[in-house]
Amino acid sequence: MKKRDFLSLGDLSKSEILSLLALASRLKKNKVKRLSPLKGKSIGLLFQKPSNRTRVSFEVAVWQLGGWCLYLGPEEIDLGKRESGADVARTLSRYLDTIVARTHTHADLLELARWASIPVINGLSDLSHPCQGLADLFSIKERFKSFQGLTLAYIGDGNNNVCHSLLLGASQVGLNMKIASPTGYEPRRDILDQAQHFAKESGVGILLGDSPWEAVKAAQVIYSDVWVSMGQESEAEKRLRDFQRFQINAGLLEGADKDYIFMHCLPAHRGQEVTSEVIDGPHSIVFDQAENRLHVQKAVLMFLLVEK
CA pair distance 255, 186, nearest whole angstrom: 23
Among the listed residues 129, 164, 264, 295, the single catalytic one is 129
Instruction: Check if 4 is active-site.
Output: no
pLDDT, position 32:
57
Q: How many CB atoms lie within 10 A of CB 54?
A: 21
pLDDT, position 285:
98
Among the listed residues 131, 265, 272, 295, the single catalytic one is 265
Q: What is the mean pLDDT of each run of 10 residues along the chain (308 residues)?
A: 92 97 94 79 95 96 95 84 90 98 95 97 97 98 98 97 98 98 97 98 98 98 92 86 97 98 97 98 98 97 88
Beta strands in the chain (DSSP E): 42-47, 68-72, 98-102, 120-124, 151-155, 176-180, 206-209, 221-224, 261-264
CA pair distance 41, 159, nearest whole angstrom: 36
Q: How many CB atoms lie within 10 A of CB 56?
A: 13
Query: Is residue 2 situated within a structural domain?
Result: no
Query: Is residue 279 situated within a structural domain?
Result: yes
Q: Are 158 and 182 members of one domain?
A: yes
Query: Is residue 4 situated within a structural domain?
Result: no
Q: Which CATH number is 109's domain given?
A: 3.40.50.1370
Helix (H) or strand (E) holding 173: helix 161-173
Contact 13, 115 (CB under 8 A): no
Query: Is residue 47 situated within a structural domain?
Result: yes
User: Among 160, 166, 223, 221, which Cα is nearest to 198's?
Assistant: 166
Residues 6+ apart with CB under 8 A from 94: none
Q: Are 163 and 269 members of one domain?
A: yes
Instruction: Check if 69 is active-site.
Output: no
Helix axes 286-305, 130-144, angle to 10 degrees: 120
User: Which range of residues forms the domain containing residue 277?
Assistant: 132-287
DSSP 5: -
Among the listed residues 106, 264, 293, 295, the single catalytic one is 293
Among the listed residues 53, 64, 126, 132, the single catalytic one is 132
Instruction: Check if 82 is active-site.
Output: no
Residues 6+ apart with CB under 8 A from 76: none
Instruction: Check if 264 is active-site.
Output: no
Q: Are 283 and 136 members of one domain?
A: yes
Q: Are 51 and 149 members of one domain?
A: no
Q: How many CB atoms lie within 10 A of CB 183?
A: 7
Q: Are 146 and 64 members of one domain?
A: no
Among the listed residues 55, 102, 164, 264, the single catalytic one is 102
Q: Are 116 and 138 members of one domain?
A: no
Q: Are 149 and 256 members of one domain?
A: yes
Query: Is residue 1 situated within a structural domain?
Result: no
pLDDT, position 13:
97
pLDDT, position 16:
98
pLDDT, position 50:
86
Contact 177, 152 (CB under 8 A): yes
Among the listed residues 225, 239, 247, 272, the single catalytic one is 225
pLDDT, position 308:
60
Query: Is residue 281 situated within a structural domain?
Result: yes
Q: Are 148 and 89 members of one domain?
A: no
Query: Is residue 43 situated within a structural domain?
Result: yes
User: Among 49, 38, 111, which Cα is nearest to 74's?
Assistant: 49
Q: Are 280 and 299 members of one domain?
A: no
Q: For residue 272, what are the CA distances in angstroms to 209, 212, 239, 260? A: 20, 15, 11, 21
Given its phi and psi angles, is residue 40 left (phi above 0), alpha (psi -120 to 50 degrees) or beta? left
Number of domains composing the chain: 2
Instruction: Check if 293 is active-site.
Output: yes
Q: Are 142 and 253 members of one domain?
A: yes
Q: Are 98 and 205 members of one domain?
A: no
Q: How many CB atoms lie within 10 A of CB 159?
A: 16
Query: Is residue 270 situated within a structural domain?
Result: yes
Estimate the share of the chain in helix, then strand, then coil, as percent rounded to the nearest 5. 45, 15, 40
pLDDT, position 1:
64
Q: How many CB atoms lie within 10 A of CB 188?
A: 15
Residues in the chain: 308
Q: Are 112 and 169 members of one domain?
A: no
